[in-house]
Amino acid sequence: MRKAHVLLVAGLLGVVGVGWVYAQPDTGATLTAQDYAEIGQLYAKINHGGDFRDADLWLSAFTDDAVFTIAIGPGQEIAGKEALTEWRHASFRGQTGDSKVRHWDGPPRLTPTAKGVTSGRSYFLVYDVSGKQPTITSSGYHDDVFMKTADGWRVKSRKVSFDATPG
C-alpha cells in the first residue's frame, strides 16, 4: 500500500510539474554559452574601461541609444552615445591610465525576456587600490538590459544602484 501511495504522489507531482512548465510564457528566448560569454565580456569592458580610463573601451559596451542611470540622491540619467561619451570623458577629468579603482562584479543573473533581449542583475564592489591595503569604497547592484545587435551583445540600459552613498 505504501508503494502505491508513493507512486501516486510521484505521478501527481510529475503531472503538476509538466503542467507548470507548459504554463510558462514562451518568449522564444534562450541563451547559449556564447551569449553568456559575450555578455560577461560587456561587464569586463565597462569595468576595465572605467578603471583604466579608456573611454572607447567603456563606450563599446553600449548601444547607440543606450540609457545609463545612476540611482543616487536625485539620480542622473545619461541617454544616447553622444551624451555617454561626453559624460565619460568629463568623469575622467582629463586624466588617463590607471585610476587606482577596481570594480568587481558578481556573476550576473541573466533572464531572456524576448528574442535578442535579456535582462541582468549583478552585485558590485568598488575598491580603492591607491594605498597599502585595498579598501571597499562602495557597493550595490546593476540592473541591465542587453540587446543582441549586428555587432554582438550590447548594453541597452544600465541602472546603477548603491547600497549606501559612496564616500
User: pLDDT tens, 22-56?
Assistant: 444 545 678 999 999 999 999 999 999 999 999 99
Q: Is residue 156 part of a domain?
A: yes
Q: Does position 141 have pLDDT exceeding 90, yes or no?
A: yes
Q: How many CB atoms lie within 10 A of CB 155?
A: 22
Residues 6+ apart with CB under 8 A from 107: 122
Q: Is residue 90 part of a domain?
A: yes
Q: Is residue 24 part of a domain?
A: no
Domain residues for 38?
A: 30-162
Query: How far is residue 162's CA from residue 140's CA, in Å, rounded to a whole number?
Result: 4
Domain count of the fold of the chain: 1
Domain at 157, CATH number? 3.10.450.50
Q: Is residue 20 part of a domain?
A: no
Residues 6+ apart with CB under 8 A from 155: 42, 46, 61, 62, 63, 66, 144, 145, 146, 147
Query: How far is residue 116's CA from residue 47's CA, in Å, rounded to a whole number?
Result: 23
Q: How far is CA 135 from the centre of its chain?
A: 23
Residues 6+ apart with CB under 8 A from 142: 105, 108, 120, 121, 122, 124, 158, 159, 160, 161
User: pLDDT tens, 79-105?
Assistant: 999 999 999 999 999 999 999 999 999
User: pLDDT tens, 98-111?
Assistant: 999 999 999 999 99
